[in-house]
Structure 1
């Protein structure tokens, strides 16, 4: 990430960095269309000028690459067809929102033709290879987008994901990939592959950068509204997060190196304090074959089959071999596979009663270009073993490097959760040590929330904190009230502070500010025990927020502990020895 708090000229500096890296990397097959140096410098100068005039552009100083099945105003969209499909006048909303925040689009990236593939080699614009190993595939279909980030050319890249295209390039190039819940990102301005299961995805070198980009994209509004119970952080219903992992028999497709890295990652997650639960994931792996091996392929045939047929022998032969026969499926075939999918989706929902997320390999291994050439369909299917089912079952996913992964020998794992677990997965990646930082605490991707300040037993590490943790609430930080409050030790079990406003002789009291999912807040408040109450609390910065207060009747005879200023600084209640 170039910067999150850019200085004057940051956009120009970012563009110059991108131009330098483009020359150093010298892999033209990453790109289908690049903006000229003149265009990029003009765009950057305009952004820097707007910032200098006082305009708020939070992504000024960021550069972006965009997969060439997503529209960028003024740049041709090809979807890796040898012909330009169209040249749009407006950018897709996902792109436009990044641009409106000050990011500069460097160019359009290469992909498997019509976003059909997980290897990145099905393109007339050249065959990219992995960033750290020229003998291995780049991963696809968002091949160029993953590479543009891996090579440090851009801060963020947009891909798409239907079968794993927002995750496999992350795994093969040692970067992070966010595959959001279907509908969280708008798909207007995206050439469809399989419309029921398509989403835009985000690549970045680190989770913090990816989260900021996702927040800019989603916060402006999602086609599929966030439910009131969507967690803002990992829901912890016990002593620690519960992470599901695959049984040994579910890992037989894996190469030895990737299996060892997966085992090491599971061990590290367990060592982080998470509870690791071994699960039968074979129903998920089995249903994955429907995406390419059944009548669901009719969606691809409907979306771009006619264009593919018109290309004739100029179409990628593997893509044509996969998609064109799907035009012959009967309606009964499609209904059969759709009903099979409905049944697995219903049964898979029980998974989330036992674990907070699944941790699976992103791929079973990293094939070479030679292996792909020998078996283009079989190798692609193998790569998708642990990704193809995710969108079919309406799940969210986050791809991160595995323990021991390096640029030259990358290995990837994915955290997978139910729909709208996106924010929880990012939090869980940090909790378990799979990522360093989730970025700014205020990045909610447009999910609704209610803020509440707690002062005592519900704070982190305190006896009632579990009541907060199970709602999926997110800690926003430590705060202090305006100096108009007092605090007493209440005679409750466990002991709690009673806080009330006293303008005449008040002080500043320390607490924690939490953001609760709306439904989680309602559930939390419904269990509130007397004498606690929820009221408006004025903070030291002059803002007001809901917070814990106390019914006046509970203060009779209570010990005033205002002088300590923080419940955690109040000495424990003295234990009276009845024999002394």
Structure 2
């Protein structure tokens, strides 16, 4: 049964109102965050944090900027997954022997800092961002806020926990195969994976560079919107960078769902019942159209059962050869599995993926958004440690295909099952339909959407106040 639940703290909007009105301040918020983190101790959420006095000093610096109160994220605290660079801070990827001190801040994070956000620290992850469960770390293994020794999910385990614990209103994560959406589902928060290229990945140590996305964890769609409005920007240093798509046009959104017989819950009847209950409500509100999940799942199978696992060796092959004992055993096994693939395998897989992309493209002629479970079941830490590959594959059943098929997606928390475990729906859309997908998510959460993606150009305000 449920032991705990998310305790999401003040939203971005609430923090801004407090800071702008003077009822609160960035330094007071910084003190609250530092105290909350200290009170938890080492629970596997953070790998490093800014020391309390330094955090207060950084907050005071933000307060002293000209025009500070007009900044879009004035004094709002946030965490960064420890695979993304922050100047002067070690980037470790949860592998101490791999660590280096970054000499520049990733552009996506720099935009947040320029917008007045307050950097708190680096969050835990599955080592080398390889995993969806949160147990592949030499540090403290994090647990879900729902208790019961349930995994936190990964690889962005700490980013989800930092938000679910109410320590920060948003955290920067990544999502190559579900790394942002799975931990969001397991901790009852929102995990948004934008279309590839909308947020610069410069300064991110790549897992699979052709698939990587920087993503956002938050407690509300409004918070996601506000953060994306700052982070989304073209970057000529990122070969995958592209402009955002159109905003939601106000028209009826056509929602697709897989036939019930194609859904997989791995024997978890509670999760199945919860999702089917949600499906019934969704059909009443949107009149859903059935869409086969087969081509999506076929694409997902290519990720770890095909040559894309070899792409991780572009970044980590030398370290694997020189320091194999420094790598978590499961991660080491996965990296080595990439060594068996040939160029012929890669081209065959690329051709097969292109065929599947063509099939999926026809799906979007009939629906705008596809609704599926984010995860089909949950696991305890012990269950994952006993079967690390099998459990991980099940966790990625609905997420592995996302970036291969160039989709965007959001994990939407919907409550708990009859047994007290979290369940979440995932909304998926074709590339650059991000705003429409977020609109449907806001509707599901009965959340007014006052700051849609791209509604305001904050860049000028950032430059004027810098």
Q: Same fold (TM over 0.5)?
A: yes
Deviations 1:111-138 (A, max 9, x none): 0110000001101112111112141110
Instruction: From the CA coordinates, give the structure whose radius of gyration is larger.
Output: 1
1:388 Cα offset (Å): 0.2
Change (3 A) 1:407 1:401: farther
Deviates more, 1:87-96 or 1:307-316: 307-316
1:343 Cα offset (Å): 0.7
SS in 1 for 2:437: helix
Q: Does 1:74 align with 2:106?
A: no
Q: Does 1:349 align with 2:364?
A: no
Which of residues 42, 61, 72 in structure 1 aligns to 2:57? Answer: 42
Partner of 1:207: 221
Q: Kindly indicate whether the alpha-carbon contact (under 8 Å) linking 2:133 and 2:392 is maintained by their aligned counterparts in 1.
A: yes
Which of residues 240, 243, 246 in structure 2 aligns to 1:226? Answer: 243
Partner of 2:304: 292
Deviations 1:415-470 (A, max 9, x none): 10000011111112233x235133424744879xxxxxxxxxxxxxxxxxxxxxxx
Partner of 1:217: 231
Partner of 2:173: 159
1:360 Cα offset (Å): 0.5
Partner of 2:340: 328
Partner of 1:33: 48
CA distance in 2, matches of 1:94, 1:426: 20
CA distance in 1, matches of 2:186, 2:328: 23
CA distance in 2, matches of 1:410, 1:423: 25
Which of residues 94, 106, 113 in structure 2 aligns to 1:92? Answer: 106
CA distance in 1, matches of 2:44, 2:418: 23
Change (3 A) 1:358 1:91: same
SS in 2 for 1:65: strand
Q: Does 1:422 align with 2:434?
A: yes
Map 1:417-566 onto structure 2 (within 5 A).
417-431=429-443, 433-441=444-452, 443-444=454-455
Q: Kindly indicate whether the alpha-carbon contact (under 8 Å) linking 2:152 and 2:186 is maintained by their aligned counterparts in 1.
A: yes
CA distance in 2, matches of 1:226, 1:126: 39
SS in 1 for 2:242: coil
Which of residues 10, 21, 31 in structure 2 aligns to 1:16? Answer: 31
Count of paired positions: 439
1:326 Cα offset (Å): 0.9
CA distance in 2, matches of 1:287, 1:442: 29
1:85 Cα offset (Å): 2.9
SS in 1 for 2:412: strand
Q: Kindly indicate whether the alpha-carbon contact (under 8 Å) linking 1:234 and 1:356 is maintained by their aligned counterparts in 2.
A: no
CA distance in 2, matches of 1:44, 1:35: 11
Change (3 A) 1:256 1:214: same
Map 1:184-263 onto structure 2 (within 5 A).
184-219=198-233, 224-226=241-243, 230-233=245-248, 236=251, 240-254=252-266, 255-263=268-276
Q: Kindly indicate whether the alpha-carbon contact (under 8 Å) linking 2:225 and 2:452 is maintained by their aligned counterparts in 1.
A: no
CA distance in 1, matches of 2:419, 2:108: 28
Specify every segment of 5 or more residues in structure 1 that has no aligned partner in the other structure, as ranges. Answer: 448-580
Q: Kindly indicate whether the alpha-carbon contact (under 8 Å) linking 1:207 and 1:439 is maintained by their aligned counterparts in 2.
A: no
Higher relative contact order (CA 8 A, sep 6+): 2
CA distance in 2, matches of 1:68, 1:407: 33
CA distance in 2, matches of 1:438, 1:407: 32
SS in 1 for 2:322: helix
1:353 Cα offset (Å): 0.8
Map 1:275-314 onto structure 2 (within 5 A).
275-314=287-326
Q: Kindly indicate whether the alpha-carbon contact (under 8 Å) linking 1:219 and 1:444 is maintained by their aligned counterparts in 2.
A: no
CA distance in 2, matches of 1:281, 1:446: 37
CA distance in 1, matches of 2:418, 2:64: 39
SS in 2 for 1:3: helix
Change (3 A) 1:352 1:137: same
Deviates more, 1:158-167 or 1:217-226: 217-226
Deviates more, 1:88-97 or 1:407-416: 407-416
Change (3 A) 1:355 1:279: same
1:362 Cα offset (Å): 0.6
1:226 Cα offset (Å): 2.7
1:61 Cα offset (Å): 2.8
CA distance in 1, matches of 2:419, 2:71: 32
1:286 Cα offset (Å): 2.2
1:262 Cα offset (Å): 1.3
Partner of 1:402: 414
Which of residues 378, 392, 398 in structure 2 aligns to 1:380? Answer: 392
Higher strand share: 1
RMSD: 2.2
1:306 Cα offset (Å): 2.0
Deviations 1:264-321 (A, max 9, x none): 221222233x121111112211221111111111101222122233322221110111
Change (3 A) 1:405 1:420: farther
Q: Does 1:124 align with 2:138?
A: yes
Q: Kindly indicate whether the alpha-carbon contact (under 8 Å) linking 1:302 and 1:327 is maintained by their aligned counterparts in 2.
A: no
CA distance in 2, matches of 1:267, 1:325: 42
